[in-house]
Structure 1
C-alpha cells in the first residue's frame, strides 16, 4: 500500500499568511498604545527628575546663602548669591562698641580680645577652619534704592564702614583663645583699618567663601562660581567661573525674587521648562529665604 505525498496548497499558504498578518495587526493594535503610553510616561518621569533635581540644587545653595545676598538679573535668566563658609557669634572687639573694628594704627585701640590685638576678633566657636574664607559679613541688611545696592549696607556695594570686609582680606587663627572660642586675626586690611557699619543685635557674624550663580543660556542651565564681588550680575558666567551644566534641553527659564521684610522672609520663585523627544515639562518651585542677618 503506497502513501500519497501531502503538502500545502498555494491557497492554504495564502490563507495562513493572511491570518497571521491579521493576528499581528490585532496584537499591535491592542499592545501598541499601552507601550506608547509607557514610553511617554518614562520620558515624562525622566524630565521631572531632571527638572526637579536642578531646582533642588538651586534651593540647597539658596539656603546656604549669606542673608540678604540673593539677587536676580533684570531679565530673570540668572540668580546669584554669596555662599556661607562658616558662621558664629562674636564678642565685640572694642570696649566702646557692640560692633567690630579692625586695624587702627593707634598703640592702644581699646581692644577687648584675648591678645589685645587691634586686628582680631573672638568667635564663640572652637577651632574654626578658615581655609577658603574670603570675606567677613556683619549684619548685611541688603538695602537698595531703586533696585541699586546701597554702599555700606549691602554686600554687593563695598564701603568702609560697611557690612563686608574688602576683597583680599585674609583670616588666620591665633593662639590664646578661651576654651570653646576662636581668636581670628584679619590681615591685608586697607590703610587706616576697616570698620563694620552696623552691629548685630544677636552678635551673629558670617564668613563667606565665593559667589555662586545659576544662569540659563543656550538651552542649558549652568552653575558657576567666582571669587570677586561685582556690582551687577554679569551677562554671562565670568572668566574662570567654571560653569557646569545642571540641566539640558531647557526651553524656558525664569527667576524672580521678592525680598523679605522685618516681618517675613524673602521668596524666590523658580520656573524651568524642559523639552525632549516631543515632551515638554514646566516645573515651578518657590523657596522661602530666611534673611535674618
Structure 2
C-alpha cells in the first residue's frame, strides 16, 4: 500500500522575515525618491489653482464695480478715503418736455416754480422692465455735484409719485423747483431700492453696501461680501466737478496661503449731466 508523499520543510517555497524587511526598506526608499520628484509638480498645480481662484474672484469683483460705476449719476462718484468708493446709481434716464403741447396743459417741466408733473418724451413702458420708472424712484436734473446742484444734498432731486403712459409718459413728482435746467433737457432716474452704493475694503473683505431712503452715506460696511482674502485695495477718482469726463482707478490685491494676486482696472466716467 502506497502512502501519499510528504513535502519536507526544505522543499517549501516562501520569503524569510529578513527578505520581507529588505523589500519594505527598498520600497520605502523608492517611494521617498519618487515623492521628492513629484512634490514640485503637485505644489505647482495647487499654487496655480489658488492663483486662478483668486484671479477669478478679483476679476468678478472688478467687473461688477465697473458695471456699476458706468451707470452712476454724473458727478456723483466720490472717494471719501482710498478704501471707499461711493456713487449714486441710475435706473434709466430720459428727456423732459420744455414747452407745453397746449398752453396751460402743464406738460413741460417748469423751473420757475415748484412743479409737480411733467412729460417725458417717448414712452417709458417701451423700455426693458428693469429700466422702467417706478413710484418711489427719484428724478435728478442737471447734477453738478456742487452746493446748490448736488443730489447728495437733495438740491436737484424729487421723488416720483406717479407714472402714466399715453402718447408721452407723464411723470408726477413731489413738488420741487429744480435749480438748473439741463442744456440737453435730460433727467436721470435713481432707483428706490439703491440710492447710494458704496464699495468698502475692510477686515480682509470687499463689501458692497446699498443705502436706501437717504442720500447720506459714510462708507457703510453692512452689505454683503463681494470678495474675501483682500490684502488691500485702493480707489482713486480723477475728475473734479464740472468736468465732462472722469476716471476711476481700481487696484485690488488678494492673498491666499501667501499666494498674491493684483488686479488694476480703470473705468471711464461720463459726467455730462
Aligned to 2:129: none
Give the deviation of 1:264 after TM superposition: 5.8
* Structure 2 match to 1:283: 263
User: Take 1:264 and 1:255, find their aligned partners in 2: how far apart are those partners?
Assistant: 20
Q: Distance in 1 between matches of 2:85 and 2:243?
A: 24
TM-score, with length taken from structure 1: 0.76
Counterpart contact for 1:134–1:207, Cα < 8 Å:
yes
2 CA distance for matches of 1:127 and 1:140? 22
Secondary structure of 2:157's aligned partner? coil
- Residue number in structure 1 paired with 2:151: 155
Query: 1:143-182 counterparts in 2 under 5 A?
Result: 150-159=146-155, 163-165=156-158, 169-174=159-164, 177=166, 179=167, 181-182=168-169
Q: Does 1:229 align with 2:215?
A: yes
SS at match of 1:53: helix
Q: Does 1:250 align with 2:230?
A: yes
Q: CA deviation at 1:46?
A: 0.4
Which of 182, 185, 188 does residue 172 from structure 2 map onto? 185
Distance 1:83 1:133 in 2: 15
Equivalent residues in 2 for 1:187-206 (5 A)?
A: 187=174, 189=175, 194-206=176-188
How big is the shift at 1:278? 2.5
Match of 1:123 in 2: 120
Residue 103 (structure 2) pairs with residue 100 (structure 1): no
Contact 2:232–2:254 (8 Å) recurs in 1: yes
Q: Distance in 1 between matches of 2:266 and 2:233?
A: 14
Task: Pick the structure with greater CA Rg.
Answer: 2
Aligned-CA RMSD value: 2.5
2:111–2:181 Cα contact (<8 Å) kept: no
CA deviation digits over 1:32-59, x for unaligned, max 9?
A: 1101100110011001111111111111
Flag structure 1 segments of 5+ consecutive residues without an equivalent.
106-117, 143-149
Which residue in 2 is equivalent to 1:112? none
Structure 1 residues 282 and 26: CA distance shift in structure 2, 3 A: same
Identify unmatched segments of 5+ residues in structure 2. Answer: 126-131
Structure having the higher helix fraction is: 2
What is the match of residue 14 of structure 2? 7
| SS, match of residue 41 in structure 1 | helix
